Each structure stands twice: as structure tokens, then as C-alpha cells.
Chain A
């Protein structure tokens, strides 16, 4: 039951994009097609889970025992950056078709605050490994959901008549605001 509650809360109630404002750049940025949004979202799901796993072990066995907690930020970002680099090299060598599909998203993952944000959040909440991973899965699924919903909405927005000053970012932000308002309604689901 608790697991279920954590899941629902991380996907809908505390959606990482719409309630915690993480990963704004890909959310508002370049993705107007659902296929591209799915690729980016998939990459974020994969890296969030991997990064949470790696950073959890690093915090537990390296930073905390040696009293290096204050180096958390720098350690985490270096781990994420090298993780992205390794996966990029691995995919390039071993799975070229997948690399061709996802390659353009990989450099963006390092600077995506959703990946780093989840890694830091689970440390601040002091979750154990199982809960951390569950939270990572749920939070990144929430990111994927928001990204796909937004891409679908923007496909529609392209054929609408939008006032000139509103075109582009402003209308995307207003749409995001309304989506966020809609997601607030899920608050009632968690007692």
C-alpha cells in the first residue's frame, strides 16, 4: 500500500515537472513531436534510475563513511556526467541503431535537472535503496507523462491562431500552468 501511495504521489500529485519544476528546459524546449518527446522521456527514465542507483551507493559507501557529505553536489554531477559518457560510448560501439535514435539526447541528459534533482531528493528524504529506486521510476515516469502530454498539446497549438506576442514560450508556459492546475486536483487522492 505504501509503495502504491509513493507511486501515485510521485507521478500525479508531486509531479516532478508540474509541481517540483525540474527539467523545465526539455519540457518547454524543443520537442513538438510526440516521437521525439518519447525518445527524450525514455532516455530520462533510464538515466534517472541508473543515476539514482549509482549515487545512492556512492553516498552510502563513500561520502557518508568518510564524512564527505559536503562534496555531494560535485560527486553527483561528476558521476552523472561520466555515466552519460559511458553509456554513449557503449551504445555507439554495441548498439548503433539505438545510438542513432537516442544519440542527440544524451548530451542534454547531463544538464537535465530532473536526473540530478531526483538523485539529491532521495538523499534528502533519506530513502532506503528500494524506496529510492521506486521513487526514481515513478518520478521519471511522471516526467515522461508530462513531456508527452505537452508534445501532444503543442502539436495542436501549432494549428491554432495564437496572438503574436503569445507565440512560442509564453503560450507553452500558460499551457503548463493549466496542466499544473489540473494535476493539483490529484491532491485529493493522497490522504
Chain B
């Protein structure tokens, strides 16, 4: 139980996917116009990530090392098709809102990165814990950014108006530049917090996390 919990909780704070690992940024920027969309996308990613970790961990001894990336992609693509069909059946408005970013979960580096860095090396229960934790961390972060952008850009949260009367929304927050600025400022705050924490413990300040390549390791670039 102890290692299971450890792998589960690391995704929720210590290795929070978009903010600490800086992985899979496309959907983080694209679908966070509202908290609803962020939550929906997050749920889809939890489903795909947990199941792909489970399956990859199950077959990790069978897959030849040379073609492993292709196998991981085939497995996650199958799961993404399942998600698409489920969303079309039960959450069609959300499916239309998320647009091409539902099929693009296939090429999200978070899925491949976790498959390569964790699921292909660890037993099934731990892989499930890792997938669940990372997926929930991702969903949390997406909902947070979505909520923030929605609140500042339209004054609403989950579709309900909650700001005071006469509040002037920053329209730019729900447009394209707002996503970049918002994520940049959140990452900056996260780094500042890390530095402060390290200084309090008397350690050297940690390096700021870099996007994609260094933390993903899904291809030859990360080595």
C-alpha cells in the first residue's frame, strides 16, 4: 500500500504534470477557455493515461525494445478512439468544444512520457497508481487554469457569474495570448515558490523545469 500511495500522490503535487514536468502543453493552452472544458479534457486524459499505463505495464515484457514507441502509440490511439466514441455518445457538446484536441491526446507527450519513463519499467499496480495520480494532477491543473482564465476573462466560473457588479472582464484572457500569459505567470509563481522553499531548507535553488524534451524522454532527444 505504501509504494502505491507514493506513486499516486507524486502526480498531485511533487511532479504535477504541466507545472513541474512541463509536459503536454498543447491542450493545457488550448482547451482552458473555461473551467468546464479543462475538467472535461482532464477526465479524458485520466481515462487514457490510467488504462494505457495499465496495458503497457501488462505487456512490458513482450514488447521488443526497438519498436516500443510504435507499440505505445498504437495502444494509446486505441484508447483515444474509445474516449472519442464515449464522448460522442454521452458528452457531445463537450466533444465539439474540445475539437481536434480529443484525437490529439494520442500525440500528447504526457501519455508517451509516462509510458516510457514509468509504465514500461514498473509492475501493474504501481503503473495504475502513477497513471491515476498524473492524470488527476493534469485534470486539476487544467481546471485551475481554465477557472482562472474564465474568471478574469468573462467573470464566470463553471458558467455562473460570480464577480462583483460592474466588473470589467479582461477579454484578452479568453483569447489566444491570455493562455500563454496565464501559464507563463503560473509557472513563474511555481518556480518562485520552489526557490523560496529550497532557501528555507538551506539548499541550493533548483533548476527551473524545461518543457518537453528534458522531462519526456520519449524519443532520442531526451537522453
Contacts and interface: CB of A to CB of B under 8 A. Distances in A.
Interface of A: 18-26, 28-30, 70-74, 76-78, 81, 85, 104, 107-108, 110-113, 116-117, 120-121, 124, 164-174, 176-178, 180-181, 184
Nearest to B32: A21
A171 B180 CA distance: 10
Contacts of B210: 29-30, 168-169
Give the one of B81, B84, B100 with max A CB within 10 A: B100
What's the dominant secondary structure at chain A's contact region?
A: helix
Contact of A169 (B70, B179, B208): B208
A168 B109 contact: no
Interface in B166-223: 172, 175-181, 183-185, 187-189, 191-192, 195, 205, 208-213, 216, 218-221
Contacts of B219: 107-108, 111
B212 to A, nearest CB: 4
Chain B interface: which size bin? 35 or more
B26 A165 contact: no
B160 to A, nearest CB: 26
Contacts of B108: 113
Nearest to B112: A111
Given A25-B26, A110-B107, A124-B100, 7 more contacts: A19-B176, A25-B212, A29-B213, A71-B81, A78-B77, A169-B211, A173-B184
A73 B48 CA distance: 14
B25 A28 contact: yes
Contact of B180 (A70, A116, A177): A177
A18 B181 CA distance: 12
A22 B176 CA distance: 12
What's the dominant secondary structure at chain B's contact region?
A: helix
19 contacts: A21-B30, A21-B176, A22-B26, A28-B212, A29-B211, A30-B221, A73-B106, A74-B81, A77-B107, A78-B73, A108-B219, A108-B221, A110-B107, A124-B99, A164-B191, A165-B195, A173-B180, A177-B180, A178-B177
Contacts, number: 156
A107 B99 CA distance: 26
Given A180-B176, A184-B176, A170 B188 contact: yes
Contacts of B81: 70-71, 73-74
Interface string B80-110: 1100110000000000000110011011110
A31 to B, nearest CB: 10
B22 interface: yes
Given A170-B187, A177-B184, A120 B213 contact: no
Given A167-B208, A169-B208, A21 B29 contact: yes
B179 to A, nearest CB: 7
A181 B180 CA distance: 10
B73 A24 contact: no
A18 B26 CA distance: 11
